[in-house]
Structure 1
Amino acid sequence: MIFEPFRPFLPCAFQVKFATATWEKRSAARLRREVFCEEQGLFAGDDRDAIDEIATPIVAVSMLGVVPDDVVGTVRIHEEAPGTWWGSRLAVAQDYRKVGALGPALIRLAVSSAHARGCTRFLAHVQSQNGLLFRRLHWAVVEEKELHGRPHLMMEADLRFYPPIGDAETGFQAHARGTPARAPLPREAA
């Protein structure tokens, strides 16, 4: 008798929120090392820098029912100057990249939570291969440049599509088959 291999179980619900617990922050750092150091080879050993001292980490936590399981996505945000915020180190665990909702949900919470804190301009350096995703999420290219030996796009979010979210410590749920369950992005800006 031949048995077909089973696909590994992947949760389909995720809580996207500020990393508030120690385990969430450690897991976000681990995921960044896996993606940026081990997988992509952008950094040797660790990708932490001075921005980590002032940045707010955001995580996507896989949920098993109502119980948090693991950090499967992360990004960080910081205010560089009054009103000017940056997002960086967006990473999704390799097994979860096909979920599709995680990257956009992390981006949404990053921009919308900064918007609630007085952001008037939100920027990010995006690896060029991810530019289309950001364009679809209402970002525009400001400049092309090379960072860490790879082509990047400096991009700016259109804040009209990112209404302020004040409760980022709790965040919102995202689901594998769609957009976040609460307060979807408007289709067109007013």
Structure 2
Amino acid sequence: MMPEPLHLFPPSSPFLPASFQIKLAVEPWERAAAARLRRQVFCTEQRLFAGDDGDAIDRVALTLVAVSLLGVAPGDVVGTVRIHEAEPGLWWGSRLAVDRAHRRIGALGSGLIRLAVSTARARGCSRFLAHVQAANAPLFHRLHWRSLAEIDLHGHPHHHMEADLDFYPPARAPETGFMTLRRAA
């Protein structure tokens, strides 16, 4: 029988940064990384789309990102959502995605949602809607959204939801957004 191998260092968890910047994507690398993350989540993991989840909305949408920070230097895009104005005053959020390794950091999804609605508010939003996967509806309810209807999209249950705009002050500088911290486990 072989002896147990000697481990000089105990096994460790994968590195997760402690801070993140949630902001409007302004750099080409941020938009490209957001598109890759969306493909990973919606095409590879969830298989909602074949190959690419891009559509005509991407040409007019604003992309928001959660960027991991290594000190003060940007690291990776670990979350994204897009928003667009469908008609004057009516805004939609869609394609909310968070990297699998970062999904337990609740501040990322909720931060992206907050910045999405607040950015739209600063641009004249009078109503903000989204189609939300049913599993994520409780998060949106906690963030002052209400379900308008339960629907089926891409073969999966979703909620047609509306944000209560009273809980979202206008974001006048979404390019810088805000910082959020990962809570220690």
TM bucket, shorter chain:
over 0.9
**Looking at CA atoms only, which structure, 1 or 2, has the larger radius of gyration?**
2
Structure 1 position 147 matched with structure 2 position 153: yes
Structure 1 position 15 matched with structure 2 position 21: yes
Structure 1 position 93 matched with structure 2 position 99: yes
Unpaired segments ≥5 residues, structure 2: 1-5
What corresponds to 1:185 in structure 2?
Answer: none
Measured after TM superposition, the shift of residue 4 of structure 1 is 2.8
Separation in structure 2 between the aligned mates of residue 125 and residue 77 of structure 1, nearest angstrom: 12
What corresponds to 1:65 in structure 2?
Answer: 71
Structure 1 position 121 matched with structure 2 position 127: yes
Measured after TM superposition, the shift of residue 5 of structure 1 is 1.6
Measured after TM superposition, the shift of residue 103 of structure 1 is 0.2
| Cα RMSD (Å) | 1.0
SS at match of 2:103: helix
1:34 corresponds, among 24, 36, 40, to 40
Structure 1 position 159 matched with structure 2 position 165: yes
Q: Structure 1: which amino acid aligns with 2:130?
A: A
Deviations 1:80-100 (A, max 9, x none): 011000000000000000111
Separation in structure 2 between the aligned mates of residue 86 and residue 70 of structure 1, nearest angstrom: 25
Q: Structure 1: which amino acid aligns with 2:66?
A: A
SS at match of 1:101: helix
Structure 1 position 137 matched with structure 2 position 146: no
What corresponds to 2:3 in structure 1?
Answer: none
Separation in structure 2 between the aligned mates of residue 31 and residue 12 of structure 1, nearest angstrom: 20
Unpaired segments ≥5 residues, structure 1: 179-190
What corresponds to 1:54 in structure 2?
Answer: 60
What corresponds to 1:173 in structure 2?
Answer: 179
Structure 1 position 105 matched with structure 2 position 123: no
Count residues in correspondence: 178
Deviations 1:1-38 (A, max 9, x none): 23432111110110111110010000000000000000
What corresponds to 2:85 in structure 1?
Answer: 79
